[in-house]
Structure 1
Amino acid sequence: MRSRRGRLIGLTALFLLFLLGLFPRVTSAHDNVSIAFTDISMKGHAIQVILQMDMYDIRVEATPEEPDVGDLTPEAYARFVNELQAPVEKYLLANLQLYADDLPLKGKLTRLSQVEIKDQNQPFAEAVLEFPVANTPHKFEMDYDMVFQRDPYHVNYVNAALGELKANAVFVAESHEMRIGDMSAPYTLEHFSLLGLKQALSLFEAILFIALLIIGRRSFKQLAIALAVFWGAYTLTFVLAGLRPLDLSGAFLPFMLAFSVVIVALYTLRGKQKTLYPWLAGGFGLFYGAGYAEGLAGLKADGGTNIVPVLAYMAGIGVALAVIAALLYLLLQYAWKAKSFVPRMSKVILPFAIVWLVVKLFVY
């Protein structure tokens, strides 16, 4: 009877010690403070983010399936920083979102190493990420969403210095977003119109497409109708792509843009009536609208609306295409009078378009 009572008292004492935190927790492999430090700055034409995070935290978060994730030896740390950059990059870019002038940035991990931080008694991993930008942003936003789901007491101390934009912040579970700076109306118009201009010039399939419409025209009226239909079609798809009911991502859209040049080149070379240009312009123009919309993918609405950036962007595209069409028309109107001009130009563009189509089909 006494022995049973003694065992009961002993078990009760152990349970109370465990509840009071006086008994070691066998499931705990890491009892240090969950902490991180982030430094954000400009490095040439890129925003550089240096993230220093507790080694245990980043290993558990980025590579939870690794068999040695709980191994706290120097050898395990060295293997992590030297061999596991790919999963670390994937994790960081999925949970660290940067916006410059309301557009999301795409980054890459350029370095992963182990560092020691003053006044911290645990090893840290240092990840250096770079996000290319055309210029120092007037407005910068950052959304940090790491560790909080596993450890709601995680803290990240952030320092940002991007030209004239400077700020310090402390990210915790309840508040882990930063926004500094703003865009004036003139800057917004200039920035997004130039962005639309660059997108129009970068989509060279559209330039070849317009050139073929000009080369194969039967009259100026037919050309004007085809270009107007093309403008209406890509504008429609641009708006729909912005509202997200369409999904033309992946390899399909680049393929269709290259395919459009092949088809119009074949029709220009072999077509007899030359009356289908407006129909071709309208049909393929729908795909070009999705291509132009990619330049605004992820645009962040400011104050619930993004109408000004979208209109400025579309104006930039429209002006660029109008100038391109006018220059091509002036350059080609005299050459078009030669009877051999149409087949010769079509024969030049067609093989190039076919090669480009094959590249889009098998490489992208």
Structure 2
Amino acid sequence: GEYTVTENAESAKVEGYTLAVTGSGEKKTVVKDGTTEFRITNSYSEVQKPKGSLKIVKTTNGGTTPKGTEFVITGPNNYSKTVKYSEFAGGPYELSNLPVGEYTVTENADSAKVEGYTLAVSGSGETKTVVKDGTTEFRITNSYSEVQKPKGSLKIVKTTTGGTTPGDTVFQITGPNNYSETVKYSKFAGGSYELSNLTVGEYTVTENAESAKVEGYTLSVSGDNGAAKYIENGGTAIFQIVNTYSPTPVIPDKPITPDKPTIPDNPTNPDKPTMPDKPTMPDKPTNPDKPTNPDKPTTPDKPTNPDKPTTPDKPTIPDKPTTPDKPNRNGSFPQTGDNSNLPLYAAAFAVSAVGLGVLLIARRKKNHKVK
């Protein structure tokens, strides 16, 4: 007989897809001892829904958001995605090609916590609609505030006896939360060193004895070296450390045993002295030559009398000088002709010559008397 097989298309629909059914509703005959085959094909095509984008903009105040902070994104059709802050790459995080609809972005506050800070998150958990060909922005801000913990101070007081603590002596300071600091004695002022604004808790100060050694001295470190003390809120823990230096005694070298003295050789007999040569008689001295008489001195020549001086000529009386011409009253210059008296000059010269001759004669007489 004839049979018909029909597929209920409504029951075969899938959301987001279109359905095309072939072979449904066909009528075929079933024959004796035969098998009649009905072929029905369902063809699904995804419905191209409108798409949009989503952007998360992260802002941090007062601290640093950890890279492991998680953000959970949920949307239509059970959409869910979790991203970490390390994926933001220093800027916003964006998701594209999302079906339009409502989306929610929630920051996991526990993953964003920072030790020693309180956290306030704004913008987390908001729901917004992603529209076709648009970008919906979610702004989430983390505000960190440092927790003001109780604080105190630590003071190291250094005393040295018997020597001088080297400036390179090292002091190791340890405390809570893995606190560690190293300071040298050269940084001490007046024999003390102070650290402030320290978290309350138990602290230890240890001097490195090797760095405090001084050549020629033994060192003993006492006081609070290596001891633990508790710093209270607003208080100061004082560590008293004493270095005592003592001169190292010098042990003398062990004396050495001297060598055994040797026996000297037996002395030998001296050589027999020889007889000196017989002395010789010196030559007889000779008489010196007889001195000769000196020559008899000669008598000097008798001096001669000087010539008798001659009487000089009697000087002549010079001419009477003439009266000069009366000066010209007409303003003309006087005549410059030579009007002097030559005989007067000659007489003066003659008198001078006579005086000079008398002087020469007197000198010659004096010289003869001396001889």
Smaller-chain TM-score bracket: under 0.3
Q: Which has the higher contact order (CA 8 A, sep 6+)?
A: 1
Larger of the two Rg values belongs to structure: 2
Which structure dedicates a bigger proportion of its chain to helix?
A: 1
TM-score (norm 2): 0.23
TM-score (norm 1): 0.24
Which structure dedicates a bigger proportion of its chain to strand?
A: 2
